[in-house]
Amino acid sequence: MRHEIEQRQRWMAILARASREELELAYADLAVDLDFRWLRMPESGLALVRGRAGGTGSLFNLGEVTMTRCALKMSDGTTGFAFILGRDRRRAELAAIFDAVLRRADEKAASALQFVVKMGQAQAARRELKSRKAASTKVNFFAMTRGMSPE
């Protein structure tokens, strides 16, 4: 059960970071029926982002970000949820559709999983490239103390 929850969290993170274009292309290839009803239509709002000093220190309020959330129920009863940064309602809708399809146990779920895995690999490659570019500009500063010779 725990593994299943962690897997779903990874899928949701990938879907939340995916661009609208990636989701549209994957959705067109998926060929899923659009028979769903909204449990919560896409709506935009603000969410407070918190950080930790040094990554592990005390919490502080970093600021607010715009996010969009939605929930839907497919005709077969599976539900899909999405929380994304920004105001792109269509992107949130597509992420929720993918979430619902991934909860199924059929060939559509296997196809959707392949798309999500590919999106995750593309995101990891972009992160790695960004990290390498940042690392190439890193400057290591160090201090040297000079001893005085007794003369």
pLDDT tens for the chain, residues 1 to 151: 788 888 888 989 999 999 999 999 999 888 777 789 999 999 999 999 999 988 888 999 999 999 999 999 998 899 999 999 999 999 999 999 999 999 888 888 888 888 999 999 999 999 999 988 888 887 776 655 565 656 5
The C-alpha atoms of residue 89 and residue 20 are separated, in whole angstroms, by 10
pLDDT for the residue numbered 69: 96
Say if 69 falls within a structural domain. Answer: yes
Residues forming beta bridges with residue 101, ordered by sequence position: none
Compute CA distances 57 → 51, 54, 60, 61, 87, whole Å: 9, 6, 9, 13, 31
Domain contains 147: no
Phi, psi for 37 (deg, rounded to 5): -125, 150
Q: Is residue 149 part of a domain?
A: no
Q: Which domain holds residue 58?
A: 2-129
Residues sharing a CB contact under 8 Å with residue 92, sequence separation 6 or more, in sequence order: 42, 68, 69, 70, 82, 83, 84
135 lies in a domain? no
In a domain, 98, yes or no: yes
pLDDT at 151: 59
Q: Note whether residue 151 is domain-resident.
A: no
90 found inside a domain? yes
Q: Is residue 116 included in any domain, yes or no?
A: yes
For the chain, the domain total comes to 1
